[in-house]
Amino acid sequence: TSPWAHFKMAPPDPIIGLNEAYNSDDFPDKVNVGVGAYRCDQGMPFVLPVVMEAEKAIIAEEMDHEYSGIAGCPDFVNLALKFVYGDDCAALQEGRIAGVQTLSGTGGLRVFGETLATFGHKHIYVPDPTWGNHIPIFKNAGLEVRKYRYYDNDSCSLDFSNLIDDMRAMPEGSCILLHACAHNPTGMDPTVDQWKEISNVAMEKNLLPFFDSAYQGFASGDARKDAAAVRMFVEDGHNIAVVQSFSKNFGLYGQRIGALSVVAADPEEAKRVLSQLKVHIRPSYSNPPRHGARIVTKILSDPEKTNDFVHQCMGMAKRIDGMRYELRQALEDLGSGRSWDHVTSQIGMFAYSGLTKDQVVALREKHHIYCTLDGRISMAGVTSNNVEYIARAIHDVTG
């Protein structure tokens, strides 16, 4: 018998599996609003013009394909850290932030999860709900995944008092995962004052804040604003860790480009932390790929190109925002008896629609519209052409 005969068919991935179902559907007006990947208003993948230019320049330079270091490309890492912490960040200037290039956000989350587990952490707290992959990433890293309350389904808003209560109940020293901006899937972030309170409680309880920054610049269109929580926590004196993804804001999904950084007490401690991150990376994938790092480096090392990036990233954020208003308007015009205010008050890539699992299934089976079972709709897949169709379908299944 085959050595694989006892392998059972695994269930499809709850998010990526949607693509497969969508691709095998031959209905002409089918819509994919499952996976969080930006589409232009014609429904096509979008390569930022500044990225295209950078790629041309890289090819013209006829670079070699040597290995990068275990920690990746140092120029990229320095620029990525400036991007999230800000040029004027004292901790960065003092040389007490350890940073490595990672296999995008996912890879950084895994490396840090493993590092936590190695250094005595038994569990990690994630928001309820959170990006679906957080849970298996941290489980596979060897951590028990615990949840803190984040969102109130009835009011479609942040469940702030319960969030704070749950933080106060966490054991001292626990790691708490926070979405830096554009919380996935709810699109609901704390206000500046609420972040301050989260920071204060984290300090009182000696918690370790770990930021997942997957949407910097993509949320509000302003990279500085989207990094405000990260910067506040560093200023408040937390020794945070941050994972950055360049998938969405730079549109570099398949290049797997990201960074993981840890704020240490002093430069010497930062060096020790860096050495331990490398210990996890080396037997895992040895060293990260070069192309995405080269693209981001070309852009962020040049003020003019950075400016172009900011405008193009803002353009994506604006298109999505426009679609939020169109979808809400279309639902209201159809006479939907529900409130769809949350569609426009949420930010980032997703609308956390409030559709039930049954309604999501009906949307798929009756209308060939694919979104995740929690009712998360990727607004990046909504276009001028399909917004009306989507609104009619949502109205049909919720009416």
Residues near ligand PLP (CB under 6 A), total: 13
Among 22, 38, 125, 131, binds ligand PLP (CB under 6 A): 131
Rounded distance, CA 241 to CA 361, Å? 38
Q: Which range, of 103-111, 121-129, 139-147, 225-233, touches ligand PLP by CB under 6 A?
A: 103-111
Site string for ligand PLP, 141-180 (x = CB under 6 A): --------------------------------------x-
The dihedral built from the CA positions of residue 86, 89, 94 and 97, taken in this order, carries a sign that is negative
Residue 225 or 366 with smaller CB distance to ligand PLP? 225
CB–CB of 311/318 below 8 Å? Answer: no
How do strand 157-158 and strand 151-152 relate by DSSP bridges? Answer: antiparallel
- The nearest distance, CB 255 to ligand PLP, in angstroms, is 9
Residue 129 or 221 with smaller CB distance to ligand PLP? 129
Catalytic residue among 159, 189, 248, 374: 248
Helix, strand, coil percent values for the chain (each to nearest 5): 45, 15, 40
248 belongs to the catalytic site:
yes
Say which residues have a Cβ less than 8 Å from residue 116's Cβ, sequence separation at least 6.
124, 141, 143, 175
Residue 214 or 270 with smaller CB distance to ligand PLP? 214
Q: Does residue 258 belong to the site contacting ligand PLP (CB under 6 A)?
A: yes
Rounded distance, CA 37 to CA 343, Å? 18
Classify residue 329 as exposed, middle or buried by CB count within 10 Å of its CB (0-12, 13-18, 19+). middle
Q: Does residue 106 belong to the site contacting ligand PLP (CB under 6 A)?
A: yes
236 belongs to the catalytic site:
no
CB–CB of 97/263 below 8 Å? Answer: yes
Q: Does residue 212 belong to the site contacting ligand PLP (CB under 6 A)?
A: yes
Among 104, 220, 261, 386, binds ligand PLP (CB under 6 A): 104
The first and second tokens of residue 385, run together, are 């052409």
Token pair 């205010």 is found at 341
Other CB atoms within a 10 A radius of the CB of residue 49 amount to 13
212 belongs to the catalytic site:
yes
Q: Give SS3 for 203.
A: helix
Nearest to 194 by CA among 221, 225, 232: 232
Residue 187 or 221 with smaller CB distance to ligand PLP? 187
Please give the residues from 217 up to 246 whose contact with ligand PLP meets the rule CB under 6 A: 245
Please give the residues from 177 up to 196 whose contact with ligand PLP meets the rule CB under 6 A: 179, 184
Q: Does residue 101 belong to the site contacting ligand PLP (CB under 6 A)?
A: no
DSSP state of 171: P
Rounded distance, CA 199 to CA 205, Å? 10
Among 101, 247, 249, 312, binds ligand PLP (CB under 6 A): 247
The first and second tokens of residue 32, run together, are 């994919």
Site string for ligand PLP, 354-393 (x = CB under 6 A): ----------------------------------------
Residue 209 or 258 with smaller CB distance to ligand PLP? 258
Residue 245 or 353 with smaller CB distance to ligand PLP? 245
- The nearest distance, CB 366 to ligand PLP, in angstroms, is 27
Q: Which range, of 68-76, 101-109, 170-178, 281-289, touches ligand PLP by CB under 6 A?
A: 101-109
Q: Does residue 36 belong to the site contacting ligand PLP (CB under 6 A)?
A: yes
Beta bridge partners of 378: 350
Residue 99 or 393 with smaller CB distance to ligand PLP? 99
Q: Is 221 left (phi over 0), alpha (psi -120 to 50) or beta?
A: left
Rounded distance, CA 166 to CA 147, Å? 9
Q: How far is CA 154 from the centre of its chain?
A: 25
Amino acid at position 22, single letter: Y
Catalytic residue among 159, 166, 189, 212: 212
Rounded distance, CA 221 to CA 216, Å? 8
Among 99, 105, 217, 251, binds ligand PLP (CB under 6 A): 105
Q: Which range, of 90-98, 104-112, 277-285, 323-331, touches ligand PLP by CB under 6 A?
A: 104-112
Residues that bind ligand PLP in the complex, under the rule CB under 6 A = 36, 104-106, 131, 179, 184, 212, 214, 245, 247, 253, 258
Residues catalogued as catalytic: 131, 212, 248
